[in-house]
Amino acid sequence: MNWSTIAATAVCGPPVPDAEGGWSVTRHADVTAVLTHPDCVVPAAPGGPPGTLAWLRGAVSRFSGPEHHPARRAIGVTALVGLDPDELRTAAARLTGDEIDRAGGRLDVMARLARRVPVVVLADRLGLADPPAAVPAVVAVAAAYHPGVTPAAVARADRAVGTLLGLSPPAPPEVTANRLGLLVQACDATAGLIGAAAWQVLPGPQAAADRLGPSAPADTVGRDVRSVPTGDLLAEVLRLDPPVRATRRVAGAALRLGGREIAAGAPLLLRFDAANRDPAVFAEPDRFVPGRPGRALTFGAGPRGCPGERHALALATGVVDVLRRRCRATDAEIRHDPHPTLRVPTRLEVITR
């Protein structure tokens, strides 16, 4: 399946075949079925020379086949068990306040906060020697972590992996790789969540629906969200404007899915952005309703669901809590990185108040 041709939007419906023998899966129930099906597997990364991006991708649980995934996932889970989400949230809020104080009156949320604060806080708790120095390296690796990037991006990521290895505490290579994988996975996805939340809920000169664009919920205009807990806001942002739009699986055996016969070996593109707006699960799915019932699939489900969901949400909450208290939006246009599966703003300027 050619990831560079993924459509910008998808509508819920039965699985749809593509010209290359793959399937696009859009309904909440069907996406959940694939995520939890033992025969639907992640395409394994082949690995590469030690200390390179290919080595990192080949060693982390995210891109591991079923024979390696449980042990590698356990490394990440063990590293996260010792981290208190409440402490992460407090640390992220404190660092966010410091960055806003230094910024002077106007700052780019993405560069100063969204791509920096979660990585610094998490890198410090994972024992990296110089957490601020890890930020540009993690960003470079994250930019090349998914398929379809340029050779220049891979070369930058190779150098960045070397930098991160030099900052990491001594440990077996597979342990180090999976601890670094936590940082990389926390980078773009958490940054995208923070950026989307700031764009959608910060007060500013425009009505919220004008800022949201064509996907804006009708009842957002003039909606007062000041009393809504940040956790509820983030949950609804994850559903309505997910930073991770899709993920991949391969049918390891023939199966029937959503009334369709899927052949063994067929690639499956799971559209979180469509499944999160499935009217069978979410009433009036295009409306922004914090605290609504139902769970978005943005963090996945089943044995490969994100092990750091609580930690990522705690880091994002710490940043967004402070933004809500101290900043307001501007009229500046928002743009997003041209990535086939991630939705991350490139720049988001706010004004302190």
- Length of the chain as a residue count: 353
Helix 85-103 and helix 117-125, axial crossing angle in degrees, nearest 10: 130
List b or e across 292-317, with b for residues whose CB sees 16 or more CB atoms inside 10 angstroms: beeebbbbbeeebebbbebbbbbbbb
pLDDT tens readout for residues 64-91: 999 999 999 999 999 999 999 999 999 9
Q: What is the pLDDT of residue 207?
A: 43
CA distances from 285 to 12, 32, 89, 279, 310 (A): 11, 18, 29, 6, 24
CA distances from 291 to 86, 178, 295 (A): 20, 33, 10
Residue 183 to residue 180: CA distance in whole angstroms: 5
Q: What is the pLDDT of residue 218?
A: 38
Residue 318 to residue 328: CA distance in whole angstroms: 17
List b or e across 55-64, with b for residues whose CB sees 16 or more CB atoms inside 10 angstroms: bbbbbbbbbb
Kindly report whether the global pTM for this prediction surpasses the value 0.85. Answer: yes
Q: What is the pLDDT of residue 221?
A: 37
Domains of the chain: 16-352 (1.10.630.10)
Residue 341 to residue 346: CA distance in whole angstroms: 15
Q: What is the pLDDT of residue 143?
A: 92
Query: Which residues, other chains included, contact 54 with Cβ-Cβ below 8 Å and sequence gap of 6+?
Result: 45, 46, 47, 48
CA distances from 315 to 83, 208, 253, 310, 319 (A): 11, 24, 39, 9, 7
pLDDT tens readout for residues 225-277: 778 999 999 999 999 999 999 999 999 999 999 999 999 999 999 999 999 99
Q: What is the pLDDT of residue 6?
A: 56
Low-confidence ranges of the chain (pLDDT < 70): 1-9, 205-224
DSSP assignment, residue 346? E
